[in-house]
Structure 1
Amino acid sequence: MIKKILYNKKIVPWIFIAPFLIFFTIFKAYPIIYSSFLSLHEMQGLSGREFVGLKNYIELINDSNFLKAVWNNTKYMIGTMITLIPIPLIFAVLLDSKHCKGKNIYKTILFIPTLTSLVIAAAVFKILLYKGETGIVNLLIGYIGIPPQKWLINPLLTIPSVVLIATWRWTGMNLIYFTTGLTGISKELYESASIDGANMLQRFYYITVPLLKPIIIFVATLNLIGGYKLFTEVYMLWDGGASPGKSALTLAVMMYRTAFSYFELGYASTIGFLMALIILILSLFQLKLTGFFKEN
């Protein structure tokens, strides 16, 4: 009987994917469904719940903190798009050049920050930026004539500070993505373009960027998702996420406080469900905008 099952071409594939399906159902699908269920209830701790329908959603949409958090997440997402796509792409192209020596050493140096814990990275940057006009970063920019900045105090600099951490930490990872994509581009294309008189910038614009489009879309989608899931850096930099003037308040921080500081689990579930919905809609819109769904 067992032998018959193991040799059945219709059953065996399901046996192999069963562990994934079980874990996905328990740790992904069920929490999402249960969260959507809780979002329709008013809960104060675990004592009980009362069905309120769409009341939580109506209150949340009119909540100024929620709107501010969405805007902060959006600014952070745009900031990481600006830094974490062009910079790693340029590094990847430079390291792919035949004139570059010691490529593996540079790749290792750039990739090491990716292995660093977010908690440790945020703690270190908290010291580097410091809550005042002193600190190592201000000391360094002072050498080039830039006056010291209140990075963690000035509301205008809070999001750029978090973007700085993200750029330092994820440049190496995106570099690997782009480097892998470059290996699939034939060197003959560049040689032919050179013979036709194309300079380095033209080869980059007309060959590298179009052929790396799938990788760029992939990296952009990861940045978008990460932009709206921002939590650890903000929580660590401002001792529980209490940034000046709520200038770095994010959806994840707001959800955490609502659930574990005020114990309003129904309202927190509403925040989480809307956060997932925002990520889904924007991801699909971005993929549509970049032509991902077009048939070749």
Structure 2
Amino acid sequence: MSNKLKNNAIGWSFVLFATIFIVIFYFLPMIQAFILSFKSGMGNNLEFVGIDNYTRLFKDPTFLAALKNTFIYLIVQVPIMIILALVLSVLLNDPKLKFKGFFRTAIFLPAVTSLVAYSIIFKYLFGLDGILNQFLMGISLISKPIPWLTDPLLAKITIIIAITWRWTGYNMIFYLSGLQNVDQSIYEAAKIDGANAFQVFTKITIPVLKPIILFTSITSTIGTLQIFDEIMNITKGGPGNSTVSISQYIYNLSFKYSPDFGYAAAVSFVIVILIVIFSSLQFKAAGDRN
């Protein structure tokens, strides 16, 4: 019994400080933010208002616009990125492909670039007098500059392109690591049996990568629901509120408009609820009860 207690004490000594820090810096702020979401006022002059902040959400046109935009980014960008990452991982896993290391590094490299730096680069690339418009006009494909950042639809497309460029390589690495653990004889046997590339992809590759696809889908969903840097640095939520996201609206409520931390906290918990809902749906769709 004393040995068991000693072992338990040693084990807890390893995790105790980490547990304390997690509680202090993660769980306590979450609880405080939740309590704050039921208050309203400026600075320290806060008063309890019950669920008024949450009922206000349904009447707030800016919040509804931010919610709509975030859903568009999620529904359009995440599937494109996941499929593109899967296809690239399969291509780069081909043992006959030359310079695989170069291509893998080149595609993964955007994932390690600064969020602010790459967002600013995209802003200049897609600007009215940016490199992209100059190139298209130079080859006589267009006669006048395309308003990538000032047209509501094109601004959304620009944001989606930027996110996809940034994170596709990140997800691709996970799929590559999974594919490299698959015996190549399985693919060779499928080809001998007459399976084409599409059948091999759908019947072997996707089932093998199912847990990794679920993981990357959930992490990508969480990241997209929290999208901030790209929008803040490329379009600043404009034109109008056509590209504003929930996270950017939280920032605006806290630091740009008249500070309303209680309402901002209520908006932030919408992201928490959405993450829980979408993660649960993805687990259910994958048929994984664990």
Once the two structures are TM-superposed, the CA of residue 160 in structure 1 deviates from its matched residue by: 1.3
8 A contact 1:79–1:160 mirrored in 2: no
1:247 aligns with 2:242: yes
Of the three residues 257, 262, 269, the one matched with 1:266 is 262
Counterpart Cα distance in 2 of 1:63 and 1:287: 32
Q: Which residue of 1 aligns with 2:233?
A: 236
Counterpart Cα distance in 2 of 1:19 and 1:158: 46
Once the two structures are TM-superposed, the CA of residue 158 in structure 1 deviates from its matched residue by: 1.6
> For structure 1, which segment, 6-15 or 171-180, has the greater mean C-alpha deviation from structure 2 after superposition?
6-15
8 A contact 1:80–1:223 mirrored in 2: no
Of the three residues 92, 95, 100, the one matched with 1:98 is 95
8 A contact 2:237–2:245 mirrored in 1: no
1:42-70 Cα shifts (integer Å, max 9, x gaps):
12122x21111001100112212111111
Once the two structures are TM-superposed, the CA of residue 141 in structure 1 deviates from its matched residue by: 4.4
1:12 aligns with 2:7: no
1:17-38 Cα shifts (integer Å, max 9, x gaps):
2233122212211111101100
> For structure 1, which segment, 242-251 or 33-42, has the greater mean C-alpha deviation from structure 2 after superposition?
242-251
Once the two structures are TM-superposed, the CA of residue 256 in structure 1 deviates from its matched residue by: 0.7
1:180 aligns with 2:177: yes
1:177-218 Cα shifts (integer Å, max 9, x gaps):
110010121212111111111122211111001111111111
> For structure 1, which segment, 79-88 or 25-34, has the greater mean C-alpha deviation from structure 2 after superposition?
79-88
8 A contact 1:217–1:290 mirrored in 2: yes
Once the two structures are TM-superposed, the CA of residue 247 in structure 1 deviates from its matched residue by: 0.6
Q: Which residue of 1 aligns with 2:25?
A: 27
| Counterpart mapping for 1:33-48 below 5 A | 33-46=31-44, 48=45
Question: Residues 149 and 189 (structure 1 numbering): CA distance in 2 closer, same or farther, change over 3 Å?
Answer: same
Counterpart Cα distance in 2 of 1:177 and 1:9: 36
| Counterpart mapping for 1:72-111 below 5 A | 72-111=69-108
Counterpart Cα distance in 1 of 2:243 and 2:20: 37
Matched to 1:282, the amino acid is F
Counterpart Cα distance in 1 of 2:18 and 2:97: 42
Matched to 1:245, the amino acid is G
User: What residue ranges of structure 1 are gaps of 5+ in the alignment?
Assistant: none
8 A contact 2:237–2:248 mirrored in 1: no
Matched to 1:259, the amino acid is S
Root-mean-square deviation (Å):
1.9
1:287 aligns with 2:255: no
- Secondary structure (helix, strand or coil) at the match of 2:40 reads strand
Counterpart Cα distance in 2 of 1:100 and 1:129: 33
Q: Name the count of aligned residue pairs.
A: 286
Question: Residues 44 and 145 (structure 1 numbering): CA distance in 2 closer, same or farther, change over 3 Å?
Answer: same
Question: Residues 211 and 141 (structure 1 numbering): CA distance in 2 closer, same or farther, change over 3 Å?
Answer: farther
Identity %: 35
Q: Which residue of 2 aligns with 1:168?
A: 165
Counterpart Cα distance in 2 of 1:146 and 1:99: 40
8 A contact 1:69–1:251 mirrored in 2: yes
- How high is the TM-score relative to the length of structure 2? 0.93
Q: Which residue of 2 aligns with 1:137?
A: 132
8 A contact 1:32–1:273 mirrored in 2: no
Counterpart Cα distance in 2 of 1:117 and 1:255: 22
